[in-house]
Structure 1
Amino acid sequence: MSSAQFNAGQSHGQAEAKTQEWIDSAKSTANAAHDKACDAAGKTQDQAQRSKDEAAGFLQQTGDKMAHMAQGAIDGVKNTLGMSDKK
């Protein structure tokens, strides 16, 4: 084997090794990005659930207040018309 062939073979081997390093690096970067995206999605989902729960609680409280106000208005009208249970 000539020196030129040896050098060509050596260069080819080094190029393959470098290519594999780049592939491994790209895979590692992609996996890290995937993990970060999954983590962010999980945090977003958790926050959305908390917001949903808070909104449901707020709406429940508002509904309860409206029901009490309506009952108070009904009682007031009944009292005015003399129809209340309290005599």
Structure 2
Amino acid sequence: MSSQQTFRAGQTQGHAEAKADEWIQSTKNTAQSAHDKAVDAAHSTKESTQQGQEQASGFIHQTSEQVMNMAHDAMDSVKSTLGVGEHSHKK
């Protein structure tokens, strides 16, 4: 092999190594970007879930209060109809 062929072989090897390094770095960058996006999506999902739970909890609390008030009103109505309770003791 002549010195020029050896030089070209070395040059080709150098270019191949440089290209491989570029691909490796590009792959690392892509992996890091995907990781960052996954972390952001996880945080967003967690926040959305917490907001949904808070809204559901508030809705359930409000609904239970309304049901309790309706039951109390119905009980008062039945007592009034039957003449039982506070109203019947007052004369």
The TM-score normalised by the length of structure 1 is: 0.93
Partner of 2:15: 14
Q: Does 1:2 align with 2:3?
A: yes
Deviation at 1:57, TM superposition (A): 0.1
Partner of 1:39: 40
* One-letter amino acid of the counterpart of residue 28, structure 1: N
CA distance in 1, matches of 2:44, 2:5: 58
Partner of 1:24: 25
The TM-score normalised by the length of structure 2 is: 0.89
CA distance in 1, matches of 2:86, 2:58: 33
Q: CA RMSD in A?
A: 1.1
Deviation at 1:39, TM superposition (A): 0.6
CA distance in 1, matches of 2:24, 2:76: 77
CA distance in 1, matches of 2:28, 2:79: 75
Structure 2, gaps ≥5 residues long = none
* One-letter amino acid of the counterpart of residue 53, structure 1: E
* Bigger RCO of structures 1 and 2 (CA < 8 A, at least 6 apart): 1
User: Which secondary structure does the structure 1 equivalent of 2:84 belong to?
Assistant: coil
Identical pairs, percent: 48
CA distance in 2, matches of 1:23, 1:85: 84
Partner of 2:81: 80
Structure 1, gaps ≥5 residues long = none
CA distance in 2, matches of 1:84, 1:34: 67
* One-letter amino acid of the counterpart of residue 23, structure 2: W
Deviation at 1:50, TM superposition (A): 0.3
Deviation at 1:37, TM superposition (A): 1.5
CA distance in 2, matches of 1:84, 1:68: 17
